[in-house]
Homo-oligomer: A and B are copies of this chain.
Amino acid sequence: MAKIFMAGSNFAGGVAVISGKAADEVASLRLKLGDEVIICDGKGSDHRCRISRFSDGEVQADVISSEPSAAEPQVKITVLAAWPKSPARVDQLVRYCTGGGAAEIVFFRSDKSGRSMNAKAEEKHLAQLAETAEAAAKDAGRSVIPPVRAVSDFAGALDIAVKTTLPLFFYESGSGRLSLKEALKDAGSVSSAAIMTGPEGGFEHYEAELAKAVGMRICSMGSRIQRCETAPLMAMTALLYETGEL
A residues neighboring B (CB under 8 Å): 70-71, 92, 95-96, 99-101, 139-142, 179-181, 221-227, 230, 233-234, 237-238, 240-242, 244-246
Contact = CB atoms under 8 A, between A and B. Distances in A.
Given A221-B246, A241-B241, A246-B179, A227 B101 contact: no
Contacts of A233: 230, 233-234
B96 A225 contact: no
Which residue, A92, A96, A181, A241, has most C-beta atoms of chain B within 10 A?
A241
How many subunits of this chain does the assembly comprise? 2
Contacts of A141: 223-225
A95 B238 contact: no
B96 A224 contact: no
A230 B180 contact: no
Which residue, A141, A142, A222, A246, has most C-beta atoms of chain B within 10 A?
A246
Contact of A100 (B71, B95, B234): B234
A10 B11 CA distance: 72
Nearest to A240: B222
Contact of A226 (B99, B227, B230, B238): B99
Contacts of A181: 241, 244, 246
Given A139-B225, A179-B246, A241-B242, 18 more contacts: A70-B223, A71-B223, A92-B92, A99-B224, A139-B227, A140-B224, A140-B225, A141-B224, A142-B224, A179-B244, A180-B241, A181-B241, A221-B246, A230-B230, A233-B234, A237-B241, A238-B241, A238-B246
